[in-house]
Amino acid sequence: MKGNAFILFLKYPERGAVKTRIARALGDDWTLALYRCFIADLSGMVRDVMAKTVIVYSGPAGVSFSGFPGARKIRQRGSDIGERMHNAFQDVFALGFERAALIGSDIPDLPARLVNDAFEKLTSADVVLGPGTDGGYYLIGCRRDSLRSSMFSGIPWSTDAVLPETRKRIAEAGLAAEQLEAWPDIDEVDELKQFYQRNRQQTKMSRTMKFLHKAEMIHEP
């Protein structure tokens, strides 16, 4: 049996297919460039995560993601985001991993310590959740024998009921859950501006911050 799998649940960078709410305000080309910066920053973060990286992606077959040496790639499958996430865990556990934690691409400043904390909690808990600041979650992890389809089926995605409903499903399944500290993700332009303000004092700028530093519209309050 293998140990920990860190699932990056990504979209392949394609014009018009990524961060669509931001793209509606700032344009498809600009948003695609931004999204590539998100992925570049995640590629730096995963080097400090004590787990094997598995990229579970939507997009054309056979594509490559630069910056992730040694990472396994699996295409997403399923009709909605819940089914795709559940299948991602199934596919990773089928590779022999004992524990897995999944994040999306919209948290480019997430510190590796939170992901490592998730795996530490999974040594005793069945499930771990990283709450977002909008009623959802930025991370979900579980042990092989704790995966339940009910944690992903019929969830009101993209609402502030995602986290409480997921917690309810976990409790109904009789599973023990732990929680990480909250962390904000980026879905809207206002959240992008907040990200910029939150990280502008970095001594070493990330790829995303270098990109945003040149974008005057992001500097506005």
Note the pLDDT tens digit of each residue in 167-182: 999 999 999 999 999 9
Residues with Cβ within 8 Å of 23's Cβ and at least 6 positions away in sequence, in order, are 16, 30, 31, 32
Q: How far apart are CA 46 and CA 72, in angstroms?
A: 13
Tens digit of pLDDT for each residue in 81-98? 999 999 999 999 999 999
* Local confidence band at 124 (pLDDT 50, 70, 90 cut-offs): very high
| CATH 3.90.550.10 holds for 2-185 | yes
Contact 161, 211 (CB under 8 A): no
Query: How many other β-carbons are positioned within 10 Å of the β-carbon of residue 62?
Result: 7
Q: How far apart are CA 114 and CA 91, in angstroms?
A: 23
Query: How many other β-carbons are positioned within 10 Å of the β-carbon of residue 202?
Result: 11
Model-level pTM? 0.95
Q: How far apart are CA 156 and CA 74, in angstroms?
A: 26
Residues with Cβ within 8 Å of 215's Cβ and at least 6 positions away in sequence, in order, are 30
